Amino acid sequence: MLENTDKLDALIQKYQGQEGILIPLLQEAQELYGHINKELMLYLSAKTEIPAAEIFGVATFYSMFKLKAQGRHVIKICKGTACHVSDVDSIKFALIEQLKLRPGEDTTSDMRFTLVEVACLGCCSLAPVIMIDDKTYGKLAPEDIVGILANYS
């Protein structure tokens, strides 16, 4: 069962009766719970009368929605063209090595970091670029990674 639904109920109330609410509703619900799991989808469906299948369809369509719990810090690796030709993959391998992620894993076992690839972050002149939470790191070399990760606990 979903707990602490007060804030969520207020959120649903805010959007009640409006058109096109599902995406902003899911965005704000994700801010509250960190990710959108099956329970949350069913709860929203029951309250808004939007079919759960439609909620699942939207939640899985957009890359912003996370269906699993994320680490405390999210590392976004820019996969834009400029970063690609500037060998951002070497940065990715350095991150995977430092975070000791196994194939298929994106979150460290201590929930410290989640590693994701994103389309262009739009800072192409600083390629290769990664973003940790809201901070962008540019003109990276694989050797820089250890020092950068040390700033996050």
Partner 1 sequence: MRAITVKVGLASCGIAAGADAVYRRLESYLIESSKMVQLKRTGCIGMCFEEPIVEFDGGDLGRVTLGKVEPKQIIHLLEEYLSDRMPKTNLILADQHDAKHNPLMASQMRIVLKNCGVIDPQSIEEYEETGGYQALKQALSMRPYAVIDLVKASGLRGRGGAGFPTGLKWDFAFEQPGPKKYVICNADEGDPGAFMDRSLLEGDPHRIIEGMLIGAYAMGADEGYIYCRAEYPLAIKHLRIAIQAAIEKNYLGPNIMGTDFSFTLHIKEGAGAFVCGEETALMHSIEGLRGMPTLRPPYPAESGLWGKPTNINNVETWANVPWIILNGPQAFRAIGTQQSPGTKVFALAGKVVGSGLIEVPMGISIRDIIYKVGGGIKDGKKFKAIQLGGPSGGCIPEELLDTTVDYDSINATGAIMGSGGMVVMDEDTCMVDVAKYFLHFTQNESCGKCTFCRIGTRRMLEILDRISQGKGETEDIQRLQELAQNINQGSLCGLGQSAPNPVITTLRYFRDEYEAHIVEKKCPTQVCVDLLTYTIDKDKCMGCHVCALRCPVKCISGKRKQPHVIDPAMCIKCDSCYKSCRFDAVVKA
Nearest approach, Cβ of residue 6 and partner 1 (Å): 24
Residues composing the chain: 153
In the complex with partner 1, the residue whose CB is nearer, 32 or 61, is 61
- The residue ranges that bind partner 1 (CB under 8 A) are 19-24, 26-27, 54, 57-58, 61-65, 79-82, 84-86, 90, 93, 97, 118-127, 129, 134, 136-138
> CA-CA distances (angstroms) from residue 63 to 30, 59, 116?
13, 8, 10
The contacts of residue 61 (CB under 8 Å, 6+ apart) are none
In the complex with partner 1, the residue whose CB is nearer, 1 or 17, is 17
Residue 42 C-alpha from the chain's centroid: 21
In the complex with partner 1, the residue whose CB is nearer, 16 or 93, is 93
d(CA 10, CA 73): 27
Nearest approach, Cβ of residue 25 and partner 1 (Å): 8
Nearest approach, Cβ of residue 38 and partner 1 (Å): 18
> Which two structure tokens, joined as six digits, stand for 81?
């063209």
In the complex with partner 1, the residue whose CB is nearer, 3 or 49, is 49
